[in-house]
Amino acid sequence: MAPDQQMVTRLLRRWGEGDRESLDQLMPLVYDQLRSLAGKCLALGYPQHTLRATALVNEAYLRLVQSDVTFNDRVHFFAVAARLLRHILVDHGKSLNRQKRGGGAEKVNFDEAILVSPQVPSGIVELDEALTRLAALDQRKADVIELLFFGGLTYDEVAAALHISPATVHRELRMAKAWLHKELAAS
């Protein structure tokens, strides 16, 4: 484990033991990675997303600080952060689709209205619904997707978090991606 990764784990444990100063030292170490994850998560959504990476990180940070979770290590922290990022994006996506906000109607100018495109980008809400269906069928495959794509963890970190081998992570990922592709193409 790299020195920064070890430091994150130590600070998380100290924070879990009640040392509030360790949180102040922790956030600069994890902020850039959280921001990078937020950017990747936003890229998974749809182009009309109004949420920005900084706002997403700030919301996730507030929820992490207010949570009652005791983090075991860096991997556990980013796994929880991944789940939070996903839920924040889904909640935001759902709020944009509510009827009082236009019910998901897309703003199109007159010139664009005459062009018909068969490709409609899958949004974060559709991805979340597909992941939820996948989790009902195979929780581990859904966890692999969530940790890799929303959590930004490496194959080795996902393997450690799920107590499986990196080869199993790779195999589960291939199957999950194929299943998600089929599900999202059908919807």
10-residue mean pLDDT profile of the chain (187 residues): values are: 79 87 87 81 61 82 84 85 83 67 47 36 73 94 88 86 93 93 85
Say how far apart CA 9 and CA 19 lie, in whole Å.
14
Q: CA geometry: angle at 165 spanning 159 and 166, to 5°?
A: 70
User: In this predicted model, what pLDDT tens digit does every residue of 131-149 receive, in sequence order?
Assistant: 999 999 999 999 999 888 8
Give CA separation, 61 vs 7, 39, 56, 108, 171, in Å.
Answer: 18, 15, 9, 35, 32
- pLDDT of the residue at 79: 84
**Structure pTM?**
0.63
- pLDDT of the residue at 135: 94
User: In this predicted model, what pLDDT tens digit does every residue of 145-185 receive, in sequence order?
Assistant: 988 887 778 899 899 889 999 999 999 999 999 999 898 88
- pLDDT of the residue at 139: 95
- pLDDT of the residue at 115: 35
| Exposed / middle / buried, residue 93 (Cβ in 10 Å: 0-12, 13-18, 19+) | buried
Say how far apart CA 182 and CA 16 lie, in whole Å.
42
